[in-house]
Amino acid sequence: GRLDVRVPVGGGSELARLSASFNAMAEALQRSEERQRRLVADVAHEMRTPLSNLRGYLEGLSDGVVQPSRELFASLHEETLLQRRILDDLQVLALAEAGDLNYTTAPVDLADLVSGGATAHRVVAADAGVALTVDAPAPVWVDADPDRLRQVLGNLLSNAIRYTDRDGHVLLRVRAEGTEAVLTVQDNGVGIAPGDLSRVFDRFWRADPARQRATGGTGLGLTIAHRIVTDHGGRIEVTSRQHLGTTFTVRLPGRP
């Protein structure tokens, strides 16, 4: 049962106004309780799969049904790494939602940051057979936390590579538009169905859980990216056409 702590509101007195604001507070508390309940349920659901995979392998090993092999240990290791990533991402998200993610802001050249991020992803892109191009010809300055911006870029870029087939292409573009700094991450990959576009930033949402599992994502990358960009006073948008590709656009207030 849910505790209802609301008090009756009557008359136009001071007391009535107090009661009304007390009720508003009680409702806000119940909403945040509901959100927490959902978060815990989501996390339990997400952690269950890697855990039961692990358990299955370990039981098979001890029963002698599964033979130990280098591949098996590698995949066991991969399951533990995935759980670790889910927990790390959740921690960032929880801190952000509580307003406790501390941003250390400094003048940042977005063009430079993006070029560096691309360099860091060259090997992953090459392994996936995806060509990576950077179009950031001039410095574009923003006031931002460079580590958190790198995290945003990393999430968008690794998605673009992950959801693009071999021989595909990812383009990173940085420009100043009016007073804004604009980063686009464009791929010619699998795309996102029109009906799903509004859900991509939702926690743990994935178009295709099986593919996502296979590629080692946590379902939290875009939620975190959205949060960080919003906390910087910016916006993040997505356009996509199925089987043709996806473009994420990040707009940040430029440095005056």
Which CB sits closer to ligand ADP, 17 or 48? 48
Which letter does DSSP use for residue 255 in this model? P
Q: Please give the structure tokens belonging to residue 231.
A: 């906390």
Among 140, 219, 228, 250, the residue binding ligand ADP under the rule CB under 6 A is 219
Applying CB under 6 A, which of residues 207, 231, 235, 249 lies at the interface with ligand ADP?
207
Residue among 42, 48, 7 at smallest CA distance from 27: 7
**DSSP H helical segments within the chain, as ranges?**
14-63, 70-97, 110-128, 146-162, 209-215, 221-231
Query: Is residue 168 close enough to count as binding ligand ADP by CB under 6 A?
Result: no
With CB atoms as reference, the residue minimizing the distance to ligand ADP is 217
Contact stretch for ligand ADP (CB under 6 A) within 63-71, 75-83, 154-162, 172-180 = 154-162
Q: Per-residue x/- mask for ligand ADP, residues 232 to 251, rule CB under 6 A?
A: --------------x-----
b/e code 108-131 from CB counts within 10 Å (16+ = b): bbbbebbeebbeebeeebeebebe
Binding ligand ADP (rule: CB under 6 A), the pick from 142, 160, 172, 181 is: 160
Rule CB under 6 A: choose which of 200, 229, 236, 250 binds ligand ADP.
200
Point out which residues pair with 176 in neighbouring strands: 181
| Contact residue for ligand ADP among 50, 163, 183, 252 (CB under 6 A) | 163
CA distances for 82 relative to 85, 132, 219, angstroms = 5, 25, 11
